Amino acid sequence: MSRRGLLALTAGAGAAITAGAAGWSRRTTASTGRVLASAGPLPRPFRVPLPVPPVARPVRSERGTDFYEVEQREGTVEILPGRKTAVWGYDGIFPGPTFAARSGRRTVVQVRNSLTVPTVTHLHGGVTPPESDGYPTDLLLPARCAPGRTHEDMAGTHPGRTAVGYRTYEYPLPQPAATLWYHDHRMDFSAPQVWRGLAGFFLVSDQEEDRLPLPGGDRDVPLMLCDRSFAEDGSFRYPGHHEHDAFPDGVLGDVQLVNGAPWPVLDVSATRYRFRLLNASNARRYQLRLDAGDGKWGRFVQIGSDGGLLAAPQPLDTVGMAPGERFDVVIDFSAFPVGSKVTLRNSAAEGGMRDVMRFHVVREERDDSRVPSRLSASFKALSPGPGGSVPVRRFDFRRTHGTGERQMWTINGRPFSTDIVLATPRLGSVERWRFSSDFHHPVHAHSAQFQVTARGGRPPRATDAGWKDTVDVRPYEVVEALVRFTGYKGRYMLHCHNLEHEDMAMMANFDVT
């Protein structure tokens, strides 16, 4: 029986929309959301090689600045063997090209919009001036409008810094080496537009990282994890307007993609590899484990978090990732004999989605890499300072019902409005922020980076370590963080990174003053 058949059986035969792991769940590992079932056969796992997105090349470089041009356009790719999928991609590919940038060196990206919808590009994890941060109403309208539409009606009613055709984003990158990513952030439409492919990696390196003997070259591999569903003809399936209300908690796919390929395989040598794990899913959460078969499990060594390298490496048996989070890990395949198959599994998922990808250990190889016991000397634990008095702010993430049965997601009781500002931290200051909720919400702040100091009144989990910009807030658990405001003055966002929640108003402004 096909995987699709199995899914239909577990959820009621014939239902196009099957109930997900749990719409509302106290199970701390489950995903919030609902599975949108694919039509047609699903691909068999572990048949296609892992693709690695190409690295973008600057069109020119000057002292201190690299200039890039990228075009958002429709492209056709083969994700499911033998079927074609139209993607909306940066340069027409999904994931988009990887930017390899340097700390403190300006990266200037001119984005051209050749799609038929407005877009917004946000560099997630970037410390970026507000004009280039990708505020949801700073629309980039397509160079050419869709038939019957004008630029005026596409600009809509939200005030914003609107551009037509192209926009230049400037990233000064006053931040250490880190795994960032870029993705669409258009007001009310981030979820469908990211689902169609508008996302890619943006890696920042620096001198401190250069000096570390970590695995590099083709043994430094970004892994973008996301789930998608497909229609019979191979196109992406996403709930249309009429079915959208059936997915208030989030849309889950039934095909696991890594770098845009379904359940791929990577041939590895029996050496150390660095993997930059990114959860780019709209709503899916992961509890990753390394299954070496016969009851044997491998382990990860975490070297970096959202915002950069840790002070020291930490071994992890499982990596829990909410949408938006990154984990920089090393896996040492010399722990497995040549010929081993090591499967990356997601124990937070059901059925075929418990598989993510597979590593085949195919040969011995010389390995000069190491994971040193000290990684970043510049990493310092934030402290509230003498006396311990820093401003404390509370942000409560909660659902309410809007008019009719329409659900809204709110922060401190308010759905997003461009003119309501929930906090005004001072540039250069540190504040204590408390996030609470009655549900699962991956809470993300733009520009500011934070350190988790407590979870449910207890010390943070191992996976909360390091500089974070996104933190998994679980039902009935208060997460406390010390937040540092460096960078720039201006308006930034705090929001839920479950993209369906985000599009249903779970965003807020804070002004750095």
User: Residues 491 to 510: which contact ligand C2O by CB under 6 A?
Assistant: 493, 495, 497
Determine which residue in the list 284, 358, 444, 468 makes contact with ligand C2O, applying CB under 6 A.
444
Q: Give the one entry of ligand C2O, Cu ion, none that residue 501 binds, where binding means its C-beta sits below a cut-off of 5 to 8 angstroms depending on kind.
A: Cu ion
Q: What are the E-state strand segments in 374-440?
A: 392-401, 407-411, 421-423, 430-437
Q: Whose Cβ is closer to Cu ion: residue 34's or residue 274's?
A: 34
| β-bridge partners, 398 | 410
CA distance 415 to 165: 30
Name the one residue in this structure whose structure tokens are 């019902």. 401
Binding of residue 399 to Cu ion (CB under 5 A): no
Name the one residue in this structure whose structure tokens are 């192209």. 166
Binding of residue 326 to ligand C2O (CB under 6 A): no
Q: Whose Cβ is closer to ligand C2O: residue 118's or residue 215's?
A: 118
Q: Do 84 and 76 contact (CB within 8 A), yes or no?
A: yes
Binding of residue 252 to Cu ion (CB under 5 A): no
According to DSSP, residue 131 is labeled: G
Q: Give the one entry of ligand C2O, Cu ion, none that residue 3 binds, where binding means its C-beta sits below a cut-off of 5 to 8 angstroms depending on kind.
A: none
Q: Whose Cβ is closer to ligand C2O: residue 185's or residue 345's?
A: 185
Q: Give the one entry of Cu ion, ligand C2O, none that residue 496 binds, where binding means its C-beta sits below a cut-off of 5 to 8 angstroms depending on kind.
A: Cu ion
Q: Whose Cβ is closer to Cu ion: residue 43's or residue 487's?
A: 487
Binding of residue 501 to Cu ion (CB under 5 A): yes
Q: How far is the CB of 274 from Cu ion (least distance, A)?
A: 23
The one segment of 109-117, 156-164, 225-233, 490-498 that binds ligand C2O by CB under 6 A: 490-498
Q: Which of 301, 303, 293 is nearest to 359 (CA)?
A: 293
Q: Do 298 and 391 contact (CB within 8 A), yes or no?
A: no
Q: What are the E-state strand segments in 79-210?
A: 85-90, 99-102, 106-113, 121-124, 140-141, 163-164, 166-171, 178-184, 199-205
Binding of residue 186 to ligand C2O (CB under 6 A): no
Length of the chain: 513
Q: Does a cis peptide bond (omega within 30 degrees of 0) precede residue 58?
A: no
Binding of residue 124 to Cu ion (CB under 5 A): yes
Q: Give the one entry of Cu ion, ligand C2O, none that residue 495 binds, where binding means its C-beta sits below a cut-off of 5 to 8 angstroms depending on kind.
A: ligand C2O
Binding of residue 228 to ligand C2O (CB under 6 A): no
Q: Which of 320, 314, 72 is nearest to 185 (CA)?
A: 72
Determine which residue in the list 441, 455, 484, 495 makes contact with Cu ion, applying CB under 5 A.
441
Q: Give the one entry of ligand C2O, Cu ion, none that residue 493 binds, where binding means its C-beta sits below a cut-off of 5 to 8 angstroms depending on kind.
A: ligand C2O
Total chain residues near Cu ion (CB under 5 A): 6
Binding of residue 498 to Cu ion (CB under 5 A): yes
CA distance 255 to 236: 11
What lies within 8 Å, CB to CB, of 47 at 6+ separation is 81, 263, 265
Q: Which of 512, 470, 382 is nearest to 180 (CA)?
A: 470
- Residue number of the CB closest to ligand C2O reads 124
Binding of residue 185 to ligand C2O (CB under 6 A): yes
Q: Give the one entry of Cu ion, ligand C2O, none that residue 498 binds, where binding means its C-beta sits below a cut-off of 5 to 8 angstroms depending on kind.
A: Cu ion
CA distance 475 to 8: 29
User: Residues 106 to 125: which contact ligand C2O by CB under 6 A?
Assistant: 122, 124
Q: Which residues bind ligand C2O (CB under 6 A)?
A: 122, 124, 183, 185, 324, 444, 446, 493, 495, 497
Q: Which residues bind Cu ion (CB under 5 A)?
A: 124, 441, 446, 496, 498, 501
